[in-house]
Amino acid sequence: MIDQVIRELKHYDGRPVKIMEVCGTHTSSIFKNGIRTMISPKIQLISGPGCPVCVTSPAYIDKLTEYSLKENHCVLTFGDMMKVKGSRMTLTEARAAGGRVKILYSPLMAVAEAEQNREIRYIFAAVGFETTAPVYSLLLEEIRQKKLKNLKLLTSLKTIMPALSFLCKKEKSIDGFLSPGHVSVITGSGVYRELAARYRKPFVIAGFEGEHILAAIYEIMNQLKKQRFEVKNMYASAVTEEGNQKAASLIKEYFEAGDGFWRGIGTIEQSALRLKKEFSAYDAGSGEEEVEEDMPSGCKCTDVILGRINPTDCPLFKTVCTPFHPIGPCMVSQEGSCGIWYQNS
Amino acid sequence: MKIDMSYGSGGKQTGNLINEVFLKHFNNKTLNKLEDSAVLNIKGKIAYTTDSFVVTPLFFKGGNIGKLAVCGTVNDLSVMGAVPKFLTAGFIIEEGAELESIEQIAASMALAAKEAAIRIVAGDTKVVEGNGGIYINTSGIGEIRKEGISISNCRPKDAIILSGNLGEHHAAILSHRMGIENQIASDCAPLSFIVKNLLDENIRVHCMRDVTRGGLATVLNEAADQSSCRMEIWEETLPVSPQVRGFCDILGLDPLYMANEGKMIAVVPENQAQKALEAVWKSKYGKNARIIGTVLEGRGVTMKTRLQGSRTIDVLYGEGLPRIC
């Protein structure tokens, strides 16, 4: 069966088709499995805004670096935030300048850190999408239960559905979407139905194995051929129609929707998850910094995030913009389109 | 008992640390003389290397910093075709370190050195301010048994042999740091037996390299670059344990880029590949060895994927850290 799928995708010779993989893990798996080498060049796979690091505003990074340099303060973060440039410096540079920044592997490690060093005020860089938000809720539960006063969250949390809606409205050239697997585990497959029907685009949810992605591309191509625009869940082992209700209610308990600033795109209505007012004691000032800012000169990350170009089409790619010296945010993360293309092409 | 600054004073307590811990475990005629230098008998060409070890945590499943410090240097000597002979060990100990931990580390070093048949013949101890950390530098000398083994000697049509499963050290360390309970243990081990077996069988080894930081991807890129050729590896032959595979899937890590402390590649002529593989299998640390690829004309490293696609394998950029989502 998979051989037939590969054969048909390899020999496709119809009109050029543009499929967006929204999620960075899909982009990564496409490279790891060599999928671009297995399909017709007329099927263009483009990356979307599904890397939380790439779409985080420089002003948010500025706030983190400021905190790190304040006396008795320490910023806790995941590793991939370390190299993202704010308007002045990265967290790595802040640490070199004497700032206190600690890399964590799980949000829940923050509690142990804060318990052990009560005299330090910890700021947790809570960045991510629907997938990480429930873990931040669990972290908040722990903080409350342990009555910790020295650990707060600076959030830059986003939801992918408003961004997909924005893309459908603005970017007419996208023919179909490889829907994000991890996010769909939380949201469920039902959330894509309205967009699929309104904008006449196939939305196909896939897991991360090469076979899953190939089968999803095949499904999108078949739908386009038959002029059908449906939601198909090909990751049924993990994704249900309604999603993970427990995780969703955990998110709802602590967070509410607000307008969100996406680096490279701008403000997308109701696309942020903000801490509810009643939990403001655990908030280190989230959202205050999110005002639109210019992208670095010459950087085409906006066009990359919106699927207008591939990273290789940016004049800075592999010339002045590299993982060692990232100019735009897409080069920073292992999940960023430019970073993945640099590493794999 | 905790170490304080007096253990680094050069006086009575320094003497106690040396006599009651290091000499007790590293006991040998050369070291026991406590001269300013060790006087050694060396024949012919030598390989000489040094490495510093700063791992956190100090103790992990499958080993500790001491075992790592001995195996790391033994392996650097071995893959140059040398028989490891003598080791020096320098300790930088932060005040607050537990004396009991230092003794455990020294015992592991002695055990690893015995297994690799290398003698610890000189050392140094310093105590610095800090929070109980321990850092070890080891330097090693080995007698060259086979000359010409080099990272720049790979040739088209050579076979690439990997001595065992990837990613175990890195996964064990990360599991410990993240508090994840699993059965993954570091692969930390001396590679001297594998090398001995290959040389005993008269395999014409062109290149050997231990696969440490940066993982297999980085080592292969260095070999391809230095030898001006292309390395092609085959995904379906790469040995990775199901536990490490699962761990990597959850955290978004790639075993190709993960550190190992008891794995090596050997690049040998194609017509000797099977014989070489069998020689590697004879060592207890080479039981999962496989032929994982071939050397071709060209540049860079590529992988033929399980689905028969093609993927470029570049070196590791930055740290291989778990990502946000």
Q: Closest to B305 (Cβ–Cβ): which among A34, A53, A128? A: A34
Q: Degrees (nearest 5) of the Cα angle A246, A271, A316?
A: 120
Structure tokens at A305: 């995030």
Across the interface, which of B314, B317, B321 has its CB nearest the CB of A79? B321
Quick check: A312 and A246 in contact, CB under 8 A? no
Asked if B254 has any chain A CB less than 8 Å from its own CB, the reply is yes
- The alpha carbon dihedral of A66, A67, A70, A76 has a sign of negative
Q: B177 at the A interface (CB within 8 A)?
A: yes
Write out the DSSP string of A253-294: HHEEEEEEEETTTEEEEEEEEEE-GGGGGGBSSTTTT----P
Give the whole-angstrom CA distance, residue B225 versus residue B228: 5
* Cβ-based contacts of B314 with chain A (< 8 Å): 342-344
Q: Which residues of A touch B176 (CB under 8 A)?
A: none
pLDDT at A289: 60
Instruction: Please tell me if residue B303 touches chain A, with a CB cutoff of 8 Å.
Output: yes
Residue B180: predicted pLDDT? 84
How high is the pLDDT of residue B321?
Answer: 56
Interface test with B, best of A184, A343, A345 (most B CBs within 10 A): A343
Residue among A31, A38, A105 whose CB faces B178 most closely: A105
CB contact under 8 A, B307 and A6: yes
Please tell me if residue A312 touches chain B, with a CB cutoff of 8 Å.
no
Distance CA A50, CA A187 (A): 15
Nearest residue in chain B measured CA to CA from A38:
B309
* B305 part of contact set with chain A, CB < 8 Å: yes
CA dist., res. A312 & res. B183, Å (int): 42
Nearest to A38 among B174, B307, B314 (CB): B307
Question: HSE of A224 in the Cβ direction (CA atoms, 13 Å)?
Answer: 21
pTM for this prediction? 0.86
Residue closest to B262 by CA, chosen among B104, B120, B81, B67: B67
Q: What is the pLDDT of residues A83-97, one digit of tens each?
A: 888 888 999 999 999
Judge contact between A174 and A201, C-beta under 8 A.
yes
Record: contact B311-A34, CB cut-off 8 A: yes
Residue A293 has pLDDT above 80, yes or no: no
**Confidence tier at A25 by pLDDT (50, 70, 90):** confident
Chain B residues with CB under 8 Å of A28 CB are: 252
- CA angle A253/A255/A257 to nearest 5° reads 130
Closest-approach residue (CA) in chain A for B217:
A343
| pLDDT category of residue A18 using cuts at 50, 70 and 90 | very high
Give the minimum alpha-carbon distance from A336 to chain B in angstroms, rounded to a whole number.
11
Residue-wise pLDDT tens digits, A128-181: 999 999 999 999 999 999 999 999 999 999 999 999 999 999 999 999 999 999
Residue whose token pair is 């923050």 = A110
In sequence order, what are the residues at sequence separation of 6 or more whose Cβ sits closer than 8 angstroms to the Cβ of residue B324? Answer: A52, A53, A78, A80, A81, A127, A128, A132, A335
Check if B252 contacts A (Cβ < 8 Å). yes
Instruction: Give me the pLDDT at residue B322, please.
Output: 55
* Chain B residues touching residue A53 (CB < 8 angstroms): 324
Residue with the larger pLDDT of the pair A291 and B160: B160
pLDDT digits (tens, 9 = 90+) for A175-214: 999 999 999 999 999 999 999 999 999 999 999 899 999 9
A38-93: pLDDT as tens digits: 999 999 999 888 888 888 888 999 999 999 999 999 999 988 888 888 888 999 99
Cβ within 8 Å, pair B306-A128: no
- From chain B, the residues in CB contact with A78 under 8 A are 321-324
DSSP letter for A296, please. P
Of A25, A33, A323, the CB nearest to B307: A33
Q: Which residues pair with A158 in a beta bridge?
A: A272
Judging contacts by C-beta atoms under 8 Å, the chain A residues touching residue B181 are: none
Distance from CA of B218 to the nearest CA of A (A): 12
Question: Which chain A residues contact residue B303 at CB under 8 A?
Answer: 34
DSSP reduced 3-state for B30: helix
What's A181's DSSP letter? H
Q: Any chain A CB within 8 A of the CB of B57? A: no
pLDDT (tens, 9 = 90+) of chain B, 325 residues, equals: 899 998 988 888 899 999 999 999 999 999 999 999 999 998 899 999 999 999 999 999 999 999 999 999 999 999 999 999 999 999 999 999 999 999 999 999 999 999 999 999 999 999 999 999 999 999 999 999 999 999 999 999 999 999 999 999 999 999 998 888 899 999 999 999 999 999 999 999 999 999 999 999 999 999 999 999 999 999 999 999 999 999 998 787 899 999 999 999 999 999 999 999 999 999 999 999 999 999 999 999 999 999 999 999 988 766 655 555 5
Amino acid A83: pLDDT: 81
| Distance from chain centroid for Cα A267 | 15
Taking the Cβ of residue B147 and every Cβ of chain A, the question of whether any pair is shorter than 8 Å is answered with: no
User: How near does any CA of chain B get to the CA of A258, in Å?
Assistant: 21
Please give the residue of chain B at the shortest CA–CA distance from A25: B252
From the number of C-beta atoms within 10 Å of its C-beta (0-12, 13-18, 19+), residue B63 rates as buried
SS3 state at A162 = helix
Residues of B in contact with A132 (CB under 8 A): 324-325
Do B324 and A52 lie within an 8 Å CB cutoff?
yes
Cα distances from A102 to residues A136, A218, B96, B139, in angstroms, run: 17, 44, 22, 32
Query: If you average pLDDT over residues A243-250, what whole number do you get?
Result: 95
In the three-class reduction of DSSP (H, G, I as helix; E, B as strand; rest coil), residue A174 is classed as coil
Whether the bond between A202 and the residue before it is cis, its omega within 30 degrees of 0, is no
Could you list the beta-strand ranges (E) of chain B: 46-53, 59-60, 63-64, 82-94, 119-128, 134-144, 158-162, 207-210, 230-234, 264-269, 290-296, 301-304, 310-312
Say yes or no: B183 contacts chain A, CB-CB below 8 A: no
Residue A30 contacts B where some CB pair is shorter than 8 Å: no
The answer to whether the Cβ–Cβ distance between A127 and B324 falls below 8 Å is: yes
Read off the DSSP letter of residue B67: H
Alpha-carbon distance values, A157 to A143, A256, A272, A282 (Å): 19, 11, 6, 15
Interface with chain B: mutation pick from A32, A103, A111, highest number of B CBs within 10 Å: A32
DSSP state of B23: I
Q: pLDDT at residue A224 above 70? A: yes
Q: CB distance from A32 to chain B under 8 Å?
A: yes
The contacts of residue A152 (CB under 8 Å, 6+ apart) are A121, A122, A123, A124, A282, A283, A284
Can you tell me which residue has the tokens 């650990």?
A151
Interface A–B counts its CB contacts (< 8 A) at 93
Residue A243 has pLDDT above 80, yes or no: yes
Using CA atoms, how far apart are residues B291 and B154, in angstroms rounded to an integer? 15
